[in-house]
Each structure stands twice: as structure tokens, then as C-alpha cells.
Amino acid sequence: MSTGRGRAWAGPCFTSLSGPHDVMNDLDLSTRAAIDAVIAGLATAGYICSRQIATAVFLAQHLQKPILVEGPAGVGKTELAKASSALLGLPLIRMQCYEGLDEAKALYEWKYAKQLLYTQILRDRLGEELNGVRSLSAAIKRLQGTGDIFFSEQFLEPRPLLRALQQPRGAVLLVDEVDKSDQEFEAFLLEILSDYQVTVPEIGTIRAPVPPFVVLTSNSARDLGDALKRRCLHLHIGFPEPRLEERIIAVKVPGVSAMLRRQIVALVQELRRQDLRKLPSVSETIDWARALLLLHAEHLEAEMVRETLNVLLKFEGDVKAVESKLPALTEAARRGVAV
Ligand SMILES: Nc1ncnc2c1ncn2[C@@H]1O[C@H](COP(=O)(O)OP(=O)(O)O)[C@@H](O)[C@H]1O
Ligand SMILES: [Mg+2]
């Protein structure tokens, strides 16, 4: 693995939150230490991650490749982009994908109302321009030069993709839930991600001075095209192993005691082994820990688990399926043994 020594790298550098610190290009740091620094930097931004995730972030930044994060809902895909923006000290520009998302919403639009307002304000001035011109074709010819003014950058409304390309110091571009967009949009996105530039016919080519650090997320609602996958570094985030999940809870819900935290995570992990329609994710574990904190729980009790189960399970069928097992599940979580 290269540490990028001697490489002309125009992309963003990792900075600690307390001040600029170029982790990636610091010649004294081994790659391992650089990845440790990514783990620590993300933790400072409130994101607790495995070495695998930190390595993917390190590589994506270093290879200047977009990172495509797949995995179930609520495991921290979107949060990874937010934490990376804090880590890199760069603005986060988010593009939420949906069916029907098109170039006008993603790239740029003309400020139609402003164009109209300006033409009205300048009506007299335009009249003067056309003074003495008799034929329609001559008037159009005369206006040609003038009309271009209304298709200049000041009338351009940049949307997230263009804004990300225009940032002078670079940006973290989050293309969230890309699987919700159409295939045509995916093809268009691929073009932008290939050369980090766009051509606006009326203005010309706009090239990113610093390529953005791009994070695409997907819940796998549909299969993404091979071309997009090839362009990206792939990262799958699954449910975290117990110790990692305990650390996430410790950061997100600091009021919960270590004992209760261990029991909460043990029970959630056990629920994930059940045959359920929707398994509880990290976001549900966090919500549940907050709920139990509010209820002044000191340790898990079957009755309290039953009363708060709707925080963890989102389908009535799932609640029904585990209800009878709750005493055994709670007892096992308290004793720290698997059911
Ligand atoms: N590794 C993590 N460290 C800190 N918080 C996390 C982590 N994973 C998930 N979360 C929290 O869980 C919630 C859901 O995360 P999110 O990124 O929105 O999930 P996804 O995008 O995968 O659906 C957020 O509140 C986030 O802060
Ligand atoms: Mg998300």
C-alpha cells in the first residue's frame, strides 16, 4: 500500500478537528498509523468505526476514488460522509437521490425569474440598443451579443453536483441513496465522477479545482450498474459486532451505564439472529438506549423490554414473533450468554 509519498496530490487532506494535520501525506506516519489516525479522527467527529471502514476511507481519499457504501438502513452510511467532512475539514454537500431526479435538480438550472426581472428592468436599455433597427432578423442579430449576458454565471443556479465541483478547497459530496435514482441518472453521474468537470453549453467547461471526496450510499433497493461499481471503491457496512456497537452507544448515549449498555447490545444482537422482517439497526439500538435512559432503567427487565419493543421493531408481526421469547432473551442478555 502506498502512502502517497512524493505524489502530486491535489485532493483534500485529512485534518484533525483541532487544527490542520495532514495525516495522509505525513512522511513520518506509517500507513497503519495513518489508518489509526482516520479511526481517531472519525471518532472525534462522533463516528465509531471498524478498521475496515477506516481503511476504505483512507484508500478512497488516497486513490481519489468515490466510495460506494452499501448496507442495511441505519448502520451509519450517511453518517460516515458527515463524519468524513468533519475529519477533512471540508464542507459537506449532500445530494439526496429519488426517482425522477434529473440534471436540472442535480447539476444546475438557469435563474429564470432573475433573467426575467433583469430583462424587464433593462427594457428601456434594450429598446435603445434596438433603436433604428427595422427588420426582425436585424434585431435578433443585434441582441445576440446582449442576450449572452443573461446566460452567464450570475444567472446560473448551481445544484449540489456543480456546487461540489466549484468549492475552491474541495468538498465531501454525499450522493445519498443512489439506488433510488433512475439508471439514466446513474449514467450521467458516472460521467461527472470520471473527470470531475461539467460543460455548460452557454458558458463552457467548469472543472473542479480540487476533486471532491465522494461518498455514494445505497440500501440496495436496486442493483447498481457495473460501470458505476467499477468506478468506485466498494464498502459494505453490516451490523456492528457487539463491542463496536457498545462503543457507539457509549458515544451517542453517554448517560447509560456500562452494564446496561452491554445488556442492551446483547439483546439487540440476539434479536438480529431471529427470523424477523426488519432487523433492528444501530439507529434503533441508539433510540432504545435513549428510551431506557429516560425510563431510568438500571438493567434489563422483561416487562420493560416488552413495553419498549416498538422502539426496536417496526412491524407488528415481528413484535408478536419475539414476545413469547422475551423472558429468555432478557435473562440471557443480563447474564451475557447467547440464547
Ligand atoms: N458507527 C457509528 N458511529 C456513530 N453513530 C452511528 C454509527 N453508525 C450509525 N450511527 C448512528 O445511527 C444513526 C443512523 O445512521 P445513518 O448514517 O443515518 O444510517 P444509514 O445512512 O446507513 O441508513 C445516526 O444517528 C448515526 O449517528
Ligand atoms: Mg442514509
Instruction: List pLDDT tens digits, range 149-187.
Output: 788 888 899 999 999 999 999 999 999 999 999 999 999
The reply to whether ligand 1 has any atom less than 6 angstroms from the CB of 248 is: yes
The reply to whether ligand 1 has any atom less than 6 angstroms from the CB of 42 is: no
Q: Could you please report the per-residue DSSP string of 99-162? A: TT--HHHHTEEE-HHHHHHHHHHTHHHHHHHTTT--SHHHHHHHHHHHHGGGGSGGGEEE-HHH
CA of 49 to the centre of ligand 1 (A): 10
Please identify every residue whose CB atom is under 5 Å from ligand 2, which is an ion.
Answer: 78
Q: How far is CA 105 from CA 145, 165, 184, in A?
A: 28, 15, 14
CA of 174 to the centre of ligand 2 (A): 10
Note the ligand closest to the C-alpha atom of 79: 1
Mean pLDDT estimate for the chain:
89
Q: Ligand 1 pocket: which of 50, 68, 75, 261 to mutate (most atoms <8 Å of CB)?
A: 75
The reply to whether ligand 1 has any atom less than 6 angstroms from the CB of 74 is: yes
The reply to whether ligand 1 has any atom less than 6 angstroms from the CB of 106 is: no
- How many helices (H) and strands (E) the chain has is answered by 16, 9
Note the ligand closest to the C-alpha atom of 236: 1
CA of 325 to the centre of ligand 2 (A): 31
d(C-alpha 66, C-alpha 121), whole Å: 45
Q: What is the mean pLDDT of residues 217-230?
A: 93
Residue 270 has pLDDT above 80, yes or no: yes
Among protein residues, the one whose CA lies closest to atom 27 of ligand 1? 79
The reply to whether ligand 1 has any atom less than 6 angstroms from the CB of 92 is: no
**Assigned C-alpha cell, 123:** 427594457
The reply to whether ligand 1 has any atom less than 6 angstroms from the CB of 318 is: no
The reply to whether ligand 1 has any atom less than 6 angstroms from the CB of 53 is: no
Q: Ligand 1 pocket: which of 282, 285, 286 to mutate (most atoms <8 Å of CB)?
A: 282
Alpha-carbon dihedral angle through residues 252, 49, 41, 32, given to the nearest 10 degrees: 160
Tens digits of residue pLDDT in 30-84: 889 999 999 999 999 999 999 999 999 999 999 999 999 999 999 999 999 999 9
CA of 124 to the centre of ligand 1 (A): 57
pTM for this one? Answer: 0.86
Question: Residues 110, 155: contact at Cβ < 8 Å?
Answer: yes
Tens digits of residue pLDDT in 288-327: 999 999 999 999 999 999 999 999 999 999 999 999 999 9
Between 121 and 90, residue with greater pLDDT: 90
d(C-alpha 142, C-alpha 146), whole Å: 8
The reply to whether ligand 1 has any atom less than 6 angstroms from the CB of 73 is: yes
Distant-in-sequence, close-in-space partners of 248: CB < 8 Å, separation ≥ 6: 48, 76, 240, 282, 285, 286
Among protein residues, the one whose CA lies closest to atom 16 of ligand 1? 76
Residue 7 has pLDDT above 60, yes or no: no
Question: Residues 313, 307: contact at Cβ < 8 Å?
Answer: no
d(C-alpha 193, C-alpha 157), whole Å: 20
Q: Is 68 left (phi over 0), alpha (psi -120 to 50) or beta?
A: beta
Among protein residues, the one whose CA lies closest to atom 6 of ligand 1? 76
Question: Residues 47, 80: contact at Cβ < 8 Å?
Answer: yes
